[in-house]
Structure 1
Amino acid sequence: MARSLALFAIGLVFGGGAGFVLAAANGVTFDGHDHGDPSHHGGTHAEAMAHDHSTTVNLPAGADAPSVAIALTQDPMAGWNLHVMPQNFRFAPENASTADVEGEGHAHVYINGEKLARLYGNWIHIPDLPKGEVEVSVSLNANSHSALTVNNVPVSAAVTVQVD
């Protein structure tokens, strides 16, 4: 039994090491990708363009126009809790990356202008914020990932907090 366990451990070490060497030899890195660059989405050019964050879906103003409000509170244990409260808008994770349907989609959460996450519900826990004055903002986006606008004004909300 001890010999089998030792051989298993040796196999894991050498197998894992060989995997890392093979990945490094093929240019694989662990630093993620620039989500704003459509060429990093993989697939065909048409697929990359379908996930273009620079386009907008403009809706007319009126009683049915979407809007969003946010509230950021410090979590009693650690981090921050962001409450996203859309009006005339439904989070639709089941339709992400599909054709736009008026009044549904997802949100993008930003910290000081840098995208933190895609959001499919009303709450998100933010484990840590940088020190100093911090702007947390949220934009509503269509299923196609295009930003929603009303009369060409982005449907978004922001709050600024001082983090010590």
Structure 2
Amino acid sequence: MQKPLALLFIGLFFGTGAGFLIAAANGVTLDGHDHDHNVVEIVAKMDHAHDHSKVSVLPQGTNAPTLKLVLHPDAVSGWNVELITTNFIFTPQNVNTTDIAGEGHAHIYVNGKKLARVYSRWTHIGALPSGTVELSATLNSNTHSALSVGDRLLNARTSIQVP
């Protein structure tokens, strides 16, 4: 039993060493993932192919959807965005299909530029630029039209001062 165990450890040692040598020879590094992406720089490079100029009007009343946006600093990096809704269901499985009143997804914007499409109450965003930053969200239909209740767009916004 001693020899097979010793051979196992020797094989693991030399196999790991050979793997690192091969990786280093091919330029592979173990830098990890950079969590400090500036979201405004990322947004500037994005191409958004959907027509977001349409608005789907929902009826007013007690069953009309509502939206509130709360921003929480993340303990590791960036920010956690909480979207608090009433009378609205996030339905990622129905995106790009027929509109159904009271369901869809959200869009997140930083300083007026679209950052992401969101399919649940919570999402994480990376580092924000220094200074006053406006974060906003809209509720959108399955076909990406902005939702409104009567003539009021279903959106929420907050401004923060980033050091």
TM-score under structure 2 length normalisation: 0.71
Shift of 1:33: 5.3
1:17-74 superposed Cα distances (whole Å, 9 cap, x missing partner): xxxxxxxxxxxxxx96531xxxxx4xxxxxxxxx421111001211010110111011
Distance in 2 of aligned mates of 1:76 and 1:32 = 27
Distance in 1 of aligned mates of 2:83 and 2:126 = 16
The structure that has the greater radius of gyration is: 2
Q: Which residue of 1 aligns with 2:47?
A: 34
Moved over 6 A (4+): none
Distance in 2 of aligned mates of 1:76 and 1:82 = 13
What is the aligned-residue RMSD (CA, Å)? 2.1
Distance in 1 of aligned mates of 2:73 and 2:161 = 11
Report the secondary structure of 2:124's partner residue: strand
Matched, 1:126 2:125: yes
Determine which structure has greater relative contact order: mean sequence separation of CA pairs < 8 Å that are 6+ residues apart, divided by chain length. 2
Distance in 1 of aligned mates of 2:45 and 2:156 = 27
Q: Which residue of 2 aligns with 1:52?
A: 51
Unaligned runs of 5+ in 1: 1-11, 13-30, 36-40, 42-50
Distance in 1 of aligned mates of 2:61 and 2:127 = 37
